[in-house]
Chains A and B, each alone.
Chain A
Amino acid sequence: MSAETILRTDAPPAEPARRIAPTSPALLLSEEHSLCPGCGEPLAVRMLLEALEETPGLKGAIGVVGIGCYTTFTRTMDVDAIQALHGRAPSLATGAKRMRPESLVFTLQGDGDMVNEGLQEVLHAAARGESVTCVLLNNGVFGETGGHMTATTVLGQRTKNSLEGRDPGYHGYPILIGDLIARLEGATYVARGSVHDAKGVARTKRMLKRAFASQQQGLGFSFVEVLTMCPTGWFIPTAEGPGYLDRVLGSVHITGELKRDGRVTPTEELRAENEKLAGERFGE
């Protein structure tokens, strides 16, 4: 993209905004949703659907959905779906994939679902090299219950049951699930994206596309974690959500491709890459 096509935001537009291309993925039946203002999950789900649509050679897809705020998207995602119990999506995805190997099978889970209730499920699915893609929407809190501590809540983060902030001596340490999964032999592609800014959204979509491509090629287990805003569960003003995500969650759950082509990326390498990306303008 050339510099000329970047929108100027320092002056009012010369003409009213108009739609120049379809703005909704075909797999999304409605853009309406019932989640809170400032929530990152609708963005993440939309990237997932766009990535799915753009996956070459896709014959079909089955989504296995956990239990959390995002469960509401089963009503608007035009994808065959199976509703799982809390935490149990990876085992259902396993059974579905084994019976329908021609379909792309993914899970959609939150951090409470995947990392608290169902940690064993996702680890074993990864270790088995199960040919499915597990997608984690990680906001570090139980959003649906109203902002309680999960296994990914970072140290110092205030939640309804860690009012003075997560204290390692009392509450223990967060699980960096992407990093854990990257170490398992059966996992071939592991990435952590974020939807706190446009660059992060575009990067997340690329990660999802690579994960799906990896599954299509039969390379093994793939995993994409997406850091999402939850201003309601974080008890902060809506507009502060993206900044809080970047500063608080993003400094512990480091974004980037944690494992690619079987190689685990050292965290320092991820940090260096993120610093480099931070200096680039969106679209460059």
Chain B
Amino acid sequence: MTRQLLEGAEAIAEAGIAAGCRFFAGYPMTPFTEVLEHFAKKLPAVGGTCINAESELEAVGMAWGAAATGARAATGSCGQGLALMQESFSELVRAELPLVILNMARGQGDYFQTTRGGGHGDYRIPSLAPMDLREAVELTQLAFHLADKWRNPVILYGDYLIAHTWESVEVPPLDFGALPPKEWASTGERRGRGGSRMVSSLGMRRGGEAMSDVEEFWKLLSKKSQRIAAEEPRFEAGFTEGAELVVVAFGTAARFARYAVQQLRQEGVPVGYVRPITLWPFPSEGVRRAAAGARKVAVFELNAGQMLDDVRLAVMERAEVSFIGGISTDRSQFGVGALLDTELIRQRILCALRGEEIPS
């Protein structure tokens, strides 16, 4: 395996194909468009299909149909397109279908969307937030594995920087372990009387089987969500030993915040960081442990303060939580704003440490 200089969108498409994705459908929208372009270019060569759908509604529908036959399938968009797909996402959770959603969001304002969602009913969708391309390649493949493992949609939360930064990366196929065969899939095969399969949001079933009791079924799904919440949180932490203040940041913003923390530590300032890699399940335990010895916790995210809620719930007043991020975007609204600046982040971390007001 050799390193290649790839744009993020292409690296993600390559990673998806390496993970066995054979169906992709999407609707162009910046900064996601190039992910669709690369799937369109690459999938036919491996016997797959990529469809330029008529809308995000149909894109998620097509991927749903492909996933229901047992194929590894994905769709994607940015937060605006994902807003349209919400009804399908919540229904896909109840249909227990594995689907990967590649969200190249316009910045970090869609944290609530990715961790709470806007669909109907009780449902949860794991969301993975890579910091750079190396991690995007790994997490894209992990997303396909987790989707199959839990029979649940999984979101990759990227952004403009993930989709459009060129980095030197390797895209090796990654093995995350064995998975059970997809005995539930509606493949169309004839299996004898009563052998047909029904993929439904009222519970997978065989021909002639009565639908499950809705209340019992929803309780089972809720138990599955609880298991995902217990088993799948991922995070990275650094310099927490002896830190008086711990910075919490996710995605590409965390790459800048981490650098600022590294610099400050070299100068002897007692700060550390913790970076949630899974936004849901939120690594509450990881954040709590990272902040265990600290007086203060500072949340840096490029929005009005969304992950802030999850950090507060994790820390539970054991330390003072302040917000050092904020809305910051370019004129095109793609979320690459002036706050993505290690010098500014560094100043804000120092302000939080000293208890001074954060400059707006």
Interface pair B200/A92, CB less than 8 Å apart: no
The reply on A240 being an interface residue by CB < 8 A is: no
Given contacts A94-B51, A96-B68, A99-B49, contact A81 B62 (CB under 8 A): no
The reply on A104 being an interface residue by CB < 8 A is: yes
Instruction: Write the nearest CB–CB distance from A254 to chain B, whole angstroms.
Output: 29
Given contacts A77-B196, A80-B197, contact A29 B207 (CB under 8 A): yes
Contacts of B63 in A (CB 8 A): 95
Q: How long is the Cα–Cα vector from A134 to B63 in the complex, in angstroms?
A: 18
Interface pair B68/A92, CB less than 8 Å apart: yes
Q: How long is the Cα–Cα vector from A243 to B219 in the complex, in angstroms?
A: 48
Give the size of the chain A interface in residues (CB under 8 angstroms).
39
Q: Which of A29, A85, A95 contacts B208 (CB 8 A)?
A: A29
Contacts of B198 in A (CB 8 A): 74, 80-83
Q: What class of interface size applies to chain B in its complex with A?
A: 35 or more
The reply on B33 being an interface residue by CB < 8 A is: no
Given contacts A26-B193, A29-B193, contact A95 B64 (CB under 8 A): yes
Contacts of B211 in A (CB 8 A): 75
State which residues 60-95 of A face B: CB under 8 Å: 60-62, 64, 74-85, 88, 90-95
Interface pair B186/A99, CB less than 8 Å apart: no
Interface pair A91/B53, CB less than 8 Å apart: yes
The reply on B288 being an interface residue by CB < 8 A is: no
Closest to A127 in B: B54
Instruction: Write the nearest CB–CB distance from A89 to chain B, whole angstroms.
Output: 8
Instruction: Write the nearest CB–CB distance from A186 to chain B, whole angstroms.
Output: 13
Interface pair A93/B54, CB less than 8 Å apart: no
Q: How long is the Cα–Cα vector from A78 to B87 in the complex, in angstroms?
A: 28
Q: How long is the Cα–Cα vector from A100 to B68 in the complex, in angstroms?
A: 11
State which residues 21-66 of A face B: CB under 8 Å: 26, 29-30, 59-62, 64
Given contacts A30-B208, A121-B61, contact A79 B68 (CB under 8 A): no
State which residues 46-67 of B face A: CB under 8 Å: 49, 51, 53-55, 57-67
State which residues 11-30 of B face A: CB under 8 Å: 22-23, 25
Q: Mark A208-230, 1 if CB is under 8 A from B, else 0.
A: 00000000000000000000000
Interface pair A120/B193, CB less than 8 Å apart: no
Q: How long is the Cα–Cα vector from A115 to B64 in the complex, in angstroms?
A: 21
The reply on A269 being an interface residue by CB < 8 A is: no
Closest to A98 in B: B49
The reply on A181 being an interface residue by CB < 8 A is: no
Interface pair B58/A60, CB less than 8 Å apart: no
Contacts of B308 in A (CB 8 A): none
Q: How long is the Cα–Cα vector from A124 to B55 in the complex, in angstroms?
A: 10
The reply on A102 being an interface residue by CB < 8 A is: yes
Interface pair B62/A80, CB less than 8 Å apart: no
Closest 8 CB pairs of A and B: A95-B65, A91-B61, A103-B188, A92-B65, A60-B188, A95-B66, A83-B200, A95-B62
Interface pair A78/B194, CB less than 8 Å apart: yes
Q: Mark B74-99, 1 if CB is under 8 A from A, else 0.
A: 00000000000001100100010000
Instruction: Write the nearest CB–CB distance from A15 to chain B, whole angstroms.
Output: 33
Q: List 5 A-B contacts (CB under 8 A).
A: A59-B188, A82-B65, A92-B65, A93-B65, A96-B68
Interface pair A80/B66, CB less than 8 Å apart: no
Contacts of B338 in A (CB 8 A): none
The reply on A108 being an interface residue by CB < 8 A is: no
Q: How long is the Cα–Cα vector from A97 to B211 in the complex, in angstroms?
A: 26
Contacts of A91 in B (CB 8 A): 53, 57-62, 64-65
